[in-house]
């Protein structure tokens, strides 16, 4: 299978993100006018109903490096969240602890990452008390 150029992959993801998805997760470029290389993305996850995340909108920052999609993006929660697989000091997501993300494949996408995080919120081990609405420190990439 031939490699698809990074920009084509990201343009496709941008188009899909603009269509809105399934209503549980959304994403797009953080600054579309000034990020021609499409490195910096923002995402959001609506907390699943009947979980400690219910009624909350969780904001995320996503960095797609020059080797994306061959290499996984870096992902941080901006909104404070108490969940296994998320660093409690920085908000960075540890892909090794998130089902579906532990073995990154170039066919995975930003939407896939957000859906895996949403699914992690549904799991019993994630039903932890949540912090009062606050934010992690802004990540620097």
Give the dihedral sign, CA 14/36/3/107: negative
39-42 long-range CB contacts below 8 Å, 24 or more apart?
A: 39/63, 39/64, 39/65, 39/141, 40/141, 41/73, 41/110
Residues 9-23 as b or e (16 or more Cβ within 10 Å = b): bbeebbeebeeeeee
Half-sphere exposure of 63 (CA within 13 A, CB side): 12
Cα torsion through 48, 30, 134, 110, rounded to 10: 30
Using an 8 Å Cβ cutoff, are 62 and 139 in contact? no
Residue with tokens 């490096």: 65
> For residue 67, what pLDDT is reported?
96
The Cα–Cα gap between 109 and 73 comes to: 9
> For residue 2, what pLDDT is reported?
65
Per-residue pLDDT of the chain (141 residues; tens, 9 = 90+): 468 889 999 999 999 998 877 889 999 999 999 999 999 999 999 999 999 999 999 999 999 999 999 999 999 999 999 999 999 999 999 999 999 999 999 999 999 999 999 999 999 999 999 988 777 777 777
């Amino acid at each position: 299978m031939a490699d698809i150029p990074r920009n084509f992959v990201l343009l496709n993801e941008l188009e899909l993100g603009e269509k809105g998805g399934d209503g549980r997760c959304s994403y797009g470029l953080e600054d579309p006018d000034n990020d021609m290389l499409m490195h910096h993305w923002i995402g959001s996850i609506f907390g699943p109903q009947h979980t400690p995340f219910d009624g909350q909108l969780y904001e995320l920052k996503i960095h797609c490096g020059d080797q994306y999609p061959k290499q996984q993006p870096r992902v941080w929660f901006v909104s404070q969240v108490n969940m296994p697989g998320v660093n409690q000091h920085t908000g960075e997501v540890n892909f090794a602890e998130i089902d579906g993300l532990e073995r990154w494949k170039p066919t995975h996408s930003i939407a896939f990452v957000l859906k895996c995080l949403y699914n992690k919120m549904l799991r019993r081990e994630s039903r932890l008390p949540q912090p009062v609405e606050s934010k992690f420190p802004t990540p620097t990439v």
